């Protein structure tokens, strides 16, 4: 389906209201979400549900996060216009598109080749020239572009990956879910200081597990 301008405006008003009711009140983040057409990152069958605050299926058995979780994680990152951000788990590209409206540069890694191809096409269609998306093993980060000011991981690890922490600049922030894949996980924020790492628990969440290697998808 194709949404009309009026339908999109009405849907986005409902979504922003829902986000505010869940504590997402940062004007910069709400503006970034409002300017990013979530329906564009969904298959046609789910586009009419783009403005619901729920996760939705995307290709390769993955999901697009619910907007309130995108808002929560983006807020926890404390992104500024000077930040170079690494996202591990690009999915359909939606989170990277939101970050692109807040950060200086966004580098995103996706282990599923079809998803990475689709995400790149969507990012290019939206003329978000500060985003780079590659197919790769997210657990290894993007060493050629390190260090990063911010790192966002959208898959759950049992422990924060040391390789990614090593690619985080001193003074930087990493946000990721931590915990067993079949249990409720904890979203944590790690601040890297000269003295070491500071950890802060933020919320209970549920994400797919962080897996190594590039996925073997049908059609590759």
What element of type H or E holds 28?
Answer: helix 27-35
218 — pLDDT class (breaks 50, 70, 90): low
pTM, 2 dp: 0.93
What mean pLDDT is predicted for residues 146-160?
94
Query: What pLDDT does 212 receive?
Result: 76
| 63 pLDDT more than 80 | yes
Does residue 153 belong to any structural domain of this protein?
yes
Q: Residue 220 domain-assigned?
A: no
Average pLDDT, the chain: 93
Domain annotation covers residue 219: no
Q: What CATH number is associated with residue 163?
A: 3.40.50.150
Active site residues: 65
Give the chain's domain count. Answer: 1
Q: Would you say residue 211 lies in a domain? A: no
Whether 152 contacts 95, CB under 8 Å? yes
d(CA 77, CA 205): 16
Q: Parallel, antiparallel, or unpaired for β 185-193 and 196-205?
A: antiparallel
Is 218 a domain residue?
A: no
Judged against a pLDDT cut of 70, whether residue 182 lies above it is answered with: no
More reliable by pLDDT, 148 or 157: 148
Has residue 209 got a pLDDT over 90?
Answer: no
- Is 216 inside any structural domain? no
* Between 61 and 74, residue with greater pLDDT: 74
- Print the domain residue range for 191: 5-205
Over residues 178-186, mean pLDDT: 79
């Amino acid at each position: 389906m194709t949404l009309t301008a009026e339908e999109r405006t009405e849907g986005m008003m409902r979504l922003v209201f829902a986000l505010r009711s869940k504590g997402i009140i940062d004007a910069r983040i709400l503006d970034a979400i409002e300017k990013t057409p979530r329906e564009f990152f969904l298959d046609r069958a789910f586009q009419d549900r783009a403005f619901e605050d729920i996760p939705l299926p995307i290709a390769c058995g993955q999901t697009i996060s619910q907007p309130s979780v995108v808002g929560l994680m983006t807020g926890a990152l404390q992104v500024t216009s000077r930040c170079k951000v690494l996202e591990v788990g690009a999915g359909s590209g939606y989170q990277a598109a939101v970050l692109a409206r807040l950060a200086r540069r966004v580098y995103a890694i996706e282990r599923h080749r079809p998803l990475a191809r689709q995400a790149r096409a969507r990012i290019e269609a939206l003329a978000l020239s500060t985003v780079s998306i590659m197919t790769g093993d997210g657990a290894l980060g993007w060493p050629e572009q390190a260090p990063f000011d911010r790192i966002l991981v959208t898959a759950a690890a049992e422990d924060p990956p040391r390789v990614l922490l090593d690619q985080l600049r001193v003074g930087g922030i990493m946000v990721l879910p931590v915990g067993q894949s079949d249990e409720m996980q904890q979203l944590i924020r790690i601040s890297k200081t000269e003295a070491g790492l500071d950890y802060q628990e933020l919320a209970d969440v549920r994400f797919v597990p962080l897996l190594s290697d590039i996925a073997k998808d049908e059609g590759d």
